[in-house]
Structure 1
Amino acid sequence: MTMRKICKLNEEQRQFADTHHSIVTRFLSHHQLDEAEFYDIVIFGYLLAVQEYLEKPELSRYAFSTIAWRNMKDCVAREYYNRSRDKRTAAIASLNEEVLELEAFLPDRLAHLAEALDNQILLTELLSCMTPKEKEMVHLKADGYTYREIAEKCSITVYGVSSRFSRMRCRLRKMELI
């Protein structure tokens, strides 16, 4: 997800943004987002939508609210993604507290390491029994492509993509049982 740059609004864009500003409050209300917390997040998507809508004539075939809602939704999704990143949820300890053992600071770390190693072994086994086309599909899905986009890139149908992923999940379940 790349963030597009917002430039200073010109007079026409400013007036357009003022006229349609109620879209922002409707969006926040519809998604039950606290205005105090999320207004500053979604407003950037809204302002970017204003600029894009007025600068790109091909967007006029859509309602402005559609473009604005999509951009605001992207901003909210990006915010939730950033909040859930490991660096934001890292374990924190006060410098005043004494931590005598690593186990006290990071409980169950050995269990987590063992689970991660098991997952790595399982993934290696799964990759070894995949066709090159399946590997390509898994890489595309990991990169965030939708089934439709994967189907286009791999020259197969969306149903073909879905059924291949279904078969791969079945293989993974069988491998877990062994």
Structure 2
Amino acid sequence: MKALHPLTEEQRIFAEKHHDFIYQYLNGRHLNIEDYYDTAVFGYLKAVQDYLEKPELQQYRFSTIARIAMRDALATEWKKQNRPMRRAYLEEYQEDTAELDAFLPTRQERLAEAMDDRNRLLALLAYLTPKERQVVHLQADGYTYHEIAEICNITSHGVHSRFYRLRRKVRSLDGMEV
């Protein structure tokens, strides 16, 4: 979502007049107001600004513009919260556990798999260009194609094309011993 700027007096009055629409939207989707209001309100305020600043939007009802903006704000937040880089692996710890292997019984298998994966990745990375390596690392860190495009100064389509070529390289190298 594009950044908000301070509301004009007209926008502030309009936003106050239609403020109940936020509650109607959240209640209509059975979303807890305490949990989702802070996210939805930014979409709502962006809708107010867009609706009053862009005359072409006034052919639609404000409720339509606001509903779409709040939906997009919530979707963006959910997407951000569910990216891999935001989820940590959790295990329950018990005080009477003396050894790490008793606490994590599959630790040795996971370590072996991780080392094997790491060795395969290092072998595959040797075949990549520096820009392809950067794109792979960013995606592994949980960045979206759009975010990768901004960081690498390329288009989203360019990121997609790089991953398409990478998949072809991986398939061609798949038969090789790594």
TM-score, normalisation: structure 2: 0.64
**Do 1:41 and 1:75's aligned partners in 2 also have CA atoms closer than 8 Å?**
no
Counterpart contact for 1:41–1:79, Cα < 8 Å:
no
Per the alignment, residue 60 of structure 2 pairs with: none
Mapped partners of 1:149, 1:59: distance in 2? 28
Structure 1, residues 57-80: CA drift from partner, whole Å, max 9, x if none?
A: 556755122111111222333444
2:43 matches 1:45? no
**What's the CA shift string for 1:77-115, capped at 9, x where partnerless?**
344459x721xx5212243xx213221101111111111
- The alpha carbon displacement at 1:44 in A equals 1.3
Tell me the amino acid that sits aligned with residue 145 of structure 2.
Answer: Y
The SS at the match of 1:146 is: helix
| Distance 1:140-1:106 versus aligned 2 partners, 3 A rule | closer
Shift of 1:132: 3.1
Does the C-alpha gap of structure 1 residues 125 and 61 become closer, same or farther in structure 2, counting only changes over 3 Å? farther
2: distance between equivalents of 1:55 and 1:43?
18
The whole-number CA distance in structure 2 between the counterparts of 1:51 and 1:147 is 24
Residue in structure 1 matched with residue 126 of structure 2 by the alignment = 128
Distance in 1 separating the partners of 2:54 and 2:91: 45
Deviates more, 1:161-170 or 1:40-49: 161-170
Partner of residue 75, structure 1: 77
> Does the aligned pair in 2 maintain the 1:48–1:71 contact within 8 Å?
yes
Give unmatched runs, 5+ long, in structure 1: none
Supply the distance in 1 between the matched residues of 2:98 and 2:55 (Cα, whole angstroms). 64
What amino acid maps onto 2:114 in structure 1? A
Count of residues paired in the alignment:
157
Please give the alpha-carbon distance, in whole angstroms, between the structure 1 residues aligned to 2:83 and 2:161: 29
- Decide whether aligned partners of structure 1 residues 60 and 125 sit closer, same or farther in structure 2, where only a CA change above 3 A counts: farther
Asked if structure 1 preserves the Cα contact closer than 8 Å seen for 2:149 and 2:159, the reply is: no
Distance change in 2, residues 1:170/1:19 (3 Å): closer
AA aligned opposite 1:48: F
Whether the 8 Å CA contact 1:49–1:67 is kept in 2: the answer is: yes
AA partner of residue 109 (structure 1)? R
Q: CA deviation at 1:46?
A: 1.3
Between the aligned partners of 2:55 and 2:68, the Cα distance in structure 1 is: 11
Stretch of structure 1 that moved more, 11-20 or 111-120: 11-20
Q: If the length of structure 1 is used for normalisation, what is the TM-score?
A: 0.64
Change (3 A) 1:58 1:110: farther
CA contact (8 A) 1:133 1:154 kept: no
- State yes or no: 1:16 paired with 2:14: no
1:144 matched to which residue of 2?
A: 144
